[in-house]
Structure 1
Amino acid sequence: MTATHPALPDDTPRRRLLVSIHDVGPRFESEVDALAARLEPMLGGPRFAMLVVPDHWDEAPLARAPRFAARLRSWSDAGVEMFLHGWRHRDDSAHTGAWQRWRATRMTAGEGEFLGLDRAEARNRMRAGRAVVEDAIGRPVAGFIAPAWLYGEGAHAALRDENFAMAEDHLRVWDPARDRTLARGPVITWASRSGSRIASSLFVAALARRALARSATVRIAVHPGDVGVPHILASIDRTVGAFAASHRPARYAELAPATAI
């Protein structure tokens, strides 16, 4: 079946919808397939980004998964933007300070890999991960997005060192080399770790469908864990469908430095 794009309001060209699939790698191949198949009809094609983890929890090395690497290249050739998403996605740092510990334990379940790294270690992982992903897709990555959107001072410094074109956190997309914000606004996502988190993310997504209806740029992020929760999948359908009717499915690359705010 050929995907069709919904009719859009006249001012839609000025509004962008950016959708991404996180934690892409051979460990979650079937879940990524399911999410991609779900999103394509709603977005009028493969108009989403993929955030690729080179070796998820040291258990799924992309460098030793040639079949999946070939699939990544095929998606990339079709126009899917590929971001480097950490190295192992697991947080193995010893955090000091109440704020850092809170972020590491409350904002994610031990997966904020780049929150506690120093500059040298963050740079090493970025370089190694970039080499793996770019070898798989045959072109430069679109940028770097830290696992759980969590960055420490070392990660921010390493981003500048490595000259990534783009980075993203919970509240903005920015150009690290120039420290220029390219888009603002919260990312809409879902949490599947517990019943309470599922309920709260469903509530927030419903609220966002109203609160962000006229935002210039809306970002939506989905994860492999979403596939196993029917209520989350239904919420994803409603949320992506609502914004695809009011915003143009777009690419992160459109957030050129000239549009910085």
Structure 2
Amino acid sequence: MKRLLLSIHDVGPRFEEEVDRLVAHVAAHVQPAALAMLVVPDHWGAHPIGGNPCFARRLRQWADAGVTMFAHGWFHKDMATHDDRLSRFKARHMTAGEGEFLGLGAQEAAQRMADSRALIEDIIGRPVAGFIAPAWLYGAPALGALRESGFALAEDHMKVWHAPTGRVLARGPVVTWASRSPARIASSLLAARLLPPLLARTPVARVAVHPGDAHRPALLASIDRTLARLRRTHAPARYGDLLAA
């Protein structure tokens, strides 16, 4: 069976309204039991889930409805100094200051992973499925910390893997959208038209949506088209199904 994995990124109090819109928007294609949420405990240090019982209650309700929860960093903001050229390029061109785990040392990365996991699991009353770094960007120290973290699943732009062993569970680019500028909107709309026919041949297709998408009608329409196209060849599934397989 070919699987379709759908995730909503950057879930937290900062984007509660946008997450609500996205959940409602994708409901025609994927039910909560086959939806994943990537949870940010304290977005940019200004929107903590801790001490926010109203949002914590909503997170627990989504988990009770079957939504799969991932830890998605702690701040989501990249506050590191990047010494090597490749990391500077990634930080500048692949994200807008969002690659929190790209430049962290192993000890700090491990601590943020552990804190994020503990907070989310305490709220939802069950284990998280895994860890996905903000912007899908990992530095080598963060990858080392992830192997030792006890998380089961991890993901980047091109694959999903078993975090403790590195065993790849799914390959292929994730379909996602960018809303920060007209040029990025246009390029992501083009990618969303080109990728689904290619992903139709793969065992696993991944789609990821972000809060900024909720404010762009053209992106919402593209999300609809993409999910409808992939549903022809792939059945909505849970990330945990990859481990069971």
Length-normalised TM-score, structure 2? 0.98
2:6 aligns with 19
Runs of 4+ in 1 over 4 A off after TM superposition: none
Residues 192-221 of structure 1 deviation map (CA, whole Å, 9 limit, x = unaligned): 010000000000000012221221100000
Note the alpha carbon deviations across 1:89-136, whole angstroms, 9 max, x for none: 000000011111000110000000000001000001011111111111
Q: Does 1:58 align with 2:39?
A: no
Q: Which aligned pairs between 1:63-82 and structure 2 lie closer than 5 A?
A: 63-82=50-69
Counterpart Cα distance in 1 of 2:164 and 2:23: 31
Q: Could you tell me which of 176, 183, 207 is aligned with 2:194?
A: 207
Q: Which residue of 2 aligns with 1:140?
A: 127
The answer for the alignment partner of 2:35 in structure 1 is: 48
Q: Look up the SS of the partner of 2:69 in the other structure.
A: strand
Equivalent residue, structure 2, for 1:126: 113
Contact 1:40 1:46 in 2 (8 A): no
What corresponds to 2:171 in structure 1?
A: 184
User: Aligned match of 1:156 in 126, 131, 143?
Assistant: 143
Number of residue equivalences: 245
Mapping for residues 81-120 of structure 1, pairs under 5 Å: 81-120=68-107
Contact 2:172 2:205 (C-alpha < 8 Å) held by counterparts: yes
Name the structure 2 match of 1:234: 221
Amino acid at match of 2:38: L
Question: What SS does the aligned partner of 1:91 have?
Answer: coil
Summarize deviations over 1:136-188 as a string: whole Å, max 9, x none.
11111100000000000111111112110000000000011111011111100
Long gaps (5+) in structure 1: 1-13
C-alpha RMSD of matched pairs (Å): 1.0
